């Protein structure tokens, strides 16, 4: 008699083709970084804090319990990509930063959609933060 493994059990629980695509959500919440960002003259030539959060809906890997970084979208790599975007020079708008982050997240072959929130905690003195949140979905012709 065949012994059932955790992988066998998870594969059994996954939806069949017609019932929807199996997926998971990778997230990073409250990433605090310094950025050269802002459209006002007082924001030029200096950094200011931004808080970035993202959720990336990704396809379930072929083996959902492979325990290998090569089989998943790695949140550390996403953070590294955000850091690289911030080193490319001054960005005027939080909307622009959010769009760049979203585009990079959707470039991963396993990604399906992404929600990106960029907050500037020092933008409005009387507020905790001001910013933008966007949601983008990969087009079918972008591949998976």
pLDDT averages per 10-residue partition of the chain, 144 residues:
45 41 92 97 95 96 77 92 97 98 95 98 96 93 56
DSSP state of 91: B
- The whole-number pLDDT of residue 70 equals 80
Which of 47, 11, 8, 52 lies closest to 32 in space, CA to CA? 52
| Maximum alpha-carbon separation in the chain | 73
- The whole-number pLDDT of residue 143 equals 54
- The whole-number pLDDT of residue 12 equals 39
The answer for residues whose C-beta is within 8 angstroms of residue 123's C-beta and 6 or more apart is: 129, 130, 131
Domains of the chain, start order: 21-142 (3.30.1130.10)
The answer to whether the CB of 138 falls within 8 A of the CB of 112 is yes
In whole angstroms, what is the distance from residue 78 CA to residue 28 CA?
9
- The whole-number pLDDT of residue 10 equals 40
């Amino acid at each position: 008699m065949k012994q059932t493994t955790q992988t066998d059990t998870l594969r059994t629980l996954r939806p069949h083709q017609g019932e929807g695509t199996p997926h998971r959500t990778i997230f990073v919440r409250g990433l605090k970084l310094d950025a050269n960002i802002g459209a006002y003259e007082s924001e030029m030539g200096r950094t200011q804090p931004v808080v970035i959060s993202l959720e990336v809906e990704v396809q379930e890997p072929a083996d959902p319990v492979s325990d290998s970084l090569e089989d998943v979208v790695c949140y550390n790599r996403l953070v590294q990509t955000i850091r690289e975007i911030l080193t490319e020079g001054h960005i005027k708008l939080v909307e622009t930063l959010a769009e760049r982050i979203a585009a990079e997240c959707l470039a991963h072959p396993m990604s399906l959609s992404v929600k990106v929130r960029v907050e500037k905690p020092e933008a409005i003195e009387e507020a905790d933060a001001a910013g933008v949140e966007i949601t983008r979905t990969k087009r079918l012709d972008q591949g998976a």
